[in-house]
Amino acid sequence: MQDPYPHPEIGAVPLTEVLHALSDPLRLRILAALAAEGERGWGAFEAGVSPSTLSHHMKVLRQAGLVRHRREGTRCVVALRDEMAERFPGLLDTVLALESRTSPAS
């Protein structure tokens, strides 16, 4: 948990890396939660996996330019990174819309 977190230059992220980051059910659920309810404390995710695994997925999302990590006191706040909508317009919106239609939010 260092600060600052390494975030990639958004223009340097390849499309295929973003698509790969999106191709996992858990990561998709994380993004859907962020899109629905805004930013969120790291610990507030009920992922059903160990902390180390969750940390791994967060890192994949961060390196793909999809989320930003920010330190807030002793915790970590995760938020969608809005530059993604400029880098790849429509991509995240489309995928999340399809995801919610296919696997309905409880």
Partner DNA sequence: TTCGATATTCGACGATCATCGAACAACGGG
Partner DNA sequence: CCCGTTGTTCGATGATCGTCGAATATCGAA
For 48, residues 6+ apart whose C-beta sits below 8 A from its C-beta are: 26
- Strands in 40-41's sheet, in edge-to-edge order, are 40-41, 75-80, 67-72
What does 91 bind: DNA, a copy of itself, none (CB cut-off 5 to 8 Å by kind)?
A: a copy of itself
95 is an interface residue for a copy of itself by CB under 8 A: yes
Nearer to a copy of itself, 24 or 72 (CB): 24
Q: Using the rule CB under 8 A, give the single segment among 2-10, 18-26, 37-45, 48-56 that binds a copy of itself.
A: 18-26
Q: Does 41 bind DNA (CB under 7 A)?
A: yes
Nearer to DNA, 8 or 41 (CB): 41
The answer for residues whose C-beta is within 8 angstroms of residue 20's C-beta and 6 or more apart is 64
Is 37 a residue that touches DNA (CB under 7 A)?
no
CA distances for 87 relative to 34, 90, 92, 99, angstroms = 19, 9, 11, 21
Q: What are phi and psi of 48, to 5 degrees?
A: 80, 15
Asked if 53 interacts with a copy of itself (CB under 8 A), we say no
Q: Which residues bind a copy of itself (CB under 8 A)?
A: 14-17, 19-20, 22-25, 28, 88-91, 94-95, 98-99, 102
